[in-house]
């Protein structure tokens, strides 16, 4: 069964970026979402607080990137570069947070974020593998 016949695989990027955005508002540490942690840390140590917004920033940037390629496949390289930038924010967040709080993280928000990032990665590879003929045929 060729799955490409039934669904447009480019949609997985949109799903992935939506998951990343949703993860910002879902529970990461025993009932606390990242937006809660951002608000708490802003009042205590503002220098660390912005880091907790990175998944949201990443999700928004990747949403723009994946939407661009859905809008027109001709922009696929731009879309890939925008997704690189978006995922960069997520990588920094993960590298900073996961080693520090590895034992405390395990709620649904974390899994949403990881699955979202993986879906975006798969979308990037899928977009790069799409044949240029598709562009000539007008998507």
Partner 1 sequence: MRKGIKINTENESKKEKERNQEPEPNFYYALGHKIRRRIIELIGENGFSSFTVLKKELNVSTGTIYHHLDTLSTLIKQKSDKKYYLTELGIRAYDSIRNNIGSISFDISKKDYDSFLLKGLMYLTPKRIMVKTNKPNFFVIILSIMILISGGIFCALNGLYPFFLLFGTIPEIPYAPFFNFLFFLFNFFVFFCIIEAISRIFYKKKENSKEFLSTFAIIFLPSALYLIIHYFFLVLMVIEITFVGILDNIIMIIFQVWSLWLLTYGIVAYKQLRIENALIISLLLHYGGFSLILIISI
Is the distance from CB of 114 to CB of 23 less than 8 angstroms? no
Is 128 among the residues that bind partner 1 (CB under 8 A)? Answer: yes
Name which position in 11, 39, 40, 95 contacts partner 1 (CB under 8 A): 95
Which two tokens mark 94?
Answer: 């993960």
| Burial (Cβ within 10 Å: 0-12, 13-18, ≥19) of residue 34 | buried
Among 20, 21, 56, 94, binds partner 1 (CB under 8 A): 94
Q: Under the criterion CB under 8 A, does residue 99 sit at the interface with partner 1?
A: yes
**Contacts of partner 1 in 21-60 (CB under 8 A):** 46-47, 50-51
- Quick one: which segment of 2-10, 14-22, 28-36, 120-128 binds partner 1 (CB under 8 A)? 120-128
Considering the rule CB under 8 A, would residue 137 count as an interface residue with partner 1?
Answer: no
* DSSP letters spanning 82-133: HHHHHHHHHHHHHHHHHHHHTTT--SHHHHHHHHHHHHHHHHHHHHHHS-TH
Among 25, 29, 75, 111, binds partner 1 (CB under 8 A): 75
| Residue 32 backbone dihedrals phi, psi, to 5 degrees | -100, 130
**Closest distance of CB 103 from partner 1, Å:** 10
Q: Which is nearer to partner 1, 31 or 86 (CB)?
A: 86
Closest distance of CB 33 from partner 1, Å: 21
| CB nearer partner 1, residue 4 or residue 84 | 84
Cβ pair 62, 23 in contact under 8 A: no
């Amino acid at each position: 069964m060729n799955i490409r016949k039934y669904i447009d695989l480019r949609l997985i990027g949109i799903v992935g970026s939506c998951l990343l955005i949703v993860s910002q508002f879902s529970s990461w540490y025993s009932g606390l979402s990242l937006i809660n942690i951002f608000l708490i840390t802003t009042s205590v140590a503002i220098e660390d607080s912005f880091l907790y917004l990175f998944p949201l920033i990443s999700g928004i940037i990747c949403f723009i990137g994946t939407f661009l390629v859905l809008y027109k496949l001709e922009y696929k390289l731009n879309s890939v570069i925008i997704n690189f930038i978006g995922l960069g924010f997520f990588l920094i967040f993960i590298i900073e947070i996961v080693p520090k709080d590895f034992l405390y993280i395990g709620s649904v928000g974390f899994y949403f974020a990881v699955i979202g990032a993986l879906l975006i990665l798969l979308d990037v590879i899928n977009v790069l593998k799409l044949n240029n003929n598709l562009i000539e045929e007008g998507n």
